[in-house]
Amino acid sequence: MIIVKGARNKDGRRAADYAKAAVGETDQYGNPFRMIKLRWTKNRLHRNGPYAKTRGFEDTIITVNTGTGEIAVSYRPNGSVMWDRGPLGVGPFFGELGKTAANMTRLAKCYRDGLWTIVDSDIDGEVKAMSDKHWLGMSDEDRAFNEERIRRMHILPAEDLENNTSPIKHGKDRDEDLVKEKTQIVNRREMELQEREAKLAERERTLMSREADIAETGTPIGTGYTAEAMGHMKMHEVRKIARETYKMVCQPNMTRADIIDQIIERQLTGKQKEFETVTG
């Protein structure tokens, strides 16, 4: 972005007029000042608007001394290119920035994105050469990543059904996500196993206690059923014992463990009461 300070808007002079007057002046870096003019490439996916900004460039500060007529050119980082159609407000959008090493490097990195073109052919040639060198210095993985990124910039997801339309990620990011996902799966399985082992241990202690109670009551062999024995039976066999031996009414929603618990309770009490309906 070109910023003019100290100038007066007199006789119809605009900031662009002072910027043109500064061309050739020695700038902050000791180089002759020159502007780079960009023309926005009109496309259906990347629209532009008046005073929109593309960040990541150095701003140019042109300071005008109206008393002496001198012009000083300096720069500030973290600037941008501001797009405008000019005084008439029609036609393509243009943006201007000073020719500095930082701006040239930034332009080279974005050159193949295809969002703008450089008006001056000589500067365009310099930036293109820098861009080609930048791409040659990439690893195969980085090059493939950026080629896919640029391809997706100019196509709608609905037009790309044959390809993976999920957000693209660099190989390092994909590897980190994969490791994270695998770690989460392992941790989740470990927690499930710990819970299952705790439940089994509690169940085993309960069964051992109940079997000891049966032994203490002197239940004759053959008339009682241990929890361990019934645990190896099929469901219909457990239901048959409950129904025929203990006169129990087993509801369809009862589990094997529920029926076994009630059988053990009947054996301990010696009562043949009706099986209580359990819901939920």
Residues 190-205 have a mean pLDDT of 82
Average pLDDT across the chain, whole number: 82
pLDDT at 179: 75
Residue ranges of the alpha helices (H) in the chain?
15-21, 101-110, 121-136, 140-153, 171-217, 227-231, 235-240, 256-269
Q: Is the pTM of this model over 0.95?
A: no
- 120: phi then psi, degrees, rounded to nearest 5: -75, 120
Strand partners, 84: 94
CA-to-CA dists, residue 153 to 158, 182, 225, angstroms: 13, 31, 72
- Of 111-115, 166-170, 239-243, give the lowest mean pLDDT range: 166-170
**Residues facing residue 64 across a β-bridge:** 71
How large is the average pLDDT for residues 156-174?
Answer: 62
The pLDDT assigned to 116 comes to 92
Q: Where does the pLDDT of residue 248 fall: very low under 50, low under 70, confident under 90, or very high at 90 and above? A: confident
- The one-letter code for the residue type at 190 is E
Torsion from C-alpha of 135, 140, 142, 143, nearest 10 degrees = 40
Q: Which position has the higher pLDDT, 193 or 109?
A: 109
Residue 111 DSSP class = G
Q: Is the Cβ–Cβ distance between 51 and 101 less than 8 Å?
A: no
CA gap 214, 261 in Å, rounded: 13
Least confident of 41-45, 95-99, 113-117, 269-273: 269-273
Its sign, for the CA torsion 259, 263, 268, 269, is positive
At 205 the pLDDT is: 79
The ranges assigned to domains in the chain are 2-137, 177-269
pLDDT tens readout for residues 167-187 = 555 555 656 767 777 788 888
Confidence band for 12, pLDDT divided at 50, 70 and 90: low
What is the rounded average pLDDT of the residues 209-235? 67
What is the distance between the alpha carbons of residues 59 and 210, in angstroms, rounded to a whole number?
Answer: 84
| Predicted local confidence at residue 196, as pLDDT | 83
Provide the pairing of β-strand 71-84 with 116-118.
unpaired
Confidence of residue 107 (pLDDT cuts 50, 70, 90): very high
pLDDT at 277: 40
Greatest mean pLDDT among 26-40, 87-101, 151-165, 167-181 lies in 26-40
Q: Is it the case that residue 74 has pLDDT exceeding 70?
A: yes
Asked if residue 222 has pLDDT above 50, the reply is no
Q: Which helix (H) or strand (E) holds 35?
A: strand 35-40
